[in-house]
Amino acid sequence: MNEHALISKHSQAEIELSMGMCIVKYRAASMIDLACVMRTEDDRKALSNSGPVLHIIPADSPLVEHDALKWLGSDQAMNGVIARAVVVPSNLAVIQDKIRWALFRPSVPFRIFRNTQVAKGWLIDLWYSHMEGKEI
């Protein structure tokens, strides 16, 4: 654990703000439905509403609702966010996201991944591009 991180623990997730990136780690065996992600996102916004956001859903989650993932990429949820990545235990959700990404790219980048490191790398690349644009 990073000693310089700001961490907020909630019943649904642990929210960590470290070096400008917000990481939301859902608790083991959590049911990830629309109400859960909306509550967690409100908590995250109270901690920080800038920089990239990474949501990590554990492999043992008994439910990951499509509507919850869809909402995380919505304009309402993305307000103030540079980019968002969600790591899920489902290959199907990743395939659906790749098709959506190929057909439609949202104004605020949002992607679904299976691998946490790949998701972090994608977010960091977008973040650097965003910051580089501000310096010019």
- Beta strands at 53-56 and 31-32: parallel, antiparallel or unpaired: unpaired
Taking only the tens place, the pLDDT of each residue in 15-42 is 998 878 899 999 998 889 999 999 999 9
Residue 123 has a pLDDT of: 94
Least confident of 3-17, 65-79, 111-125: 3-17
Taking only the tens place, the pLDDT of each residue in 81-91 is 899 999 988 76
- Report residue 96 as tokens: 């659906």
Q: What is the rounded CA–CA span in Å between residue 51 and residue 32?
A: 23
Domain ranges of the chain: 6-135
Taking only the tens place, the pLDDT of each residue in 40-72 is 999 888 887 678 999 999 988 888 888 998 899
* Comparison of pLDDT for 42 and 99, the residue scoring more: 42
Does the structure show a pLDDT above 70 at 106? no
Rounded percentage of the chain residues whose pLDDT exceeds 90: 32
Mean pLDDT of the chain: 82
Does the structure show a pLDDT above 60 at 129? yes
Give the fold, CATH level 3, of 6-135: Transcription Regulator spoIIAA (3.30.750)
The C-alpha angle with vertex 24 and arms to 22 and 29, in degrees rounded to 5, equals 170
* Comparison of pLDDT for 85 and 103, the residue scoring more: 85
The C-alpha angle with vertex 21 and arms to 23 and 87, in degrees rounded to 5, equals 40
* Comparison of pLDDT for 74 and 104, the residue scoring more: 74
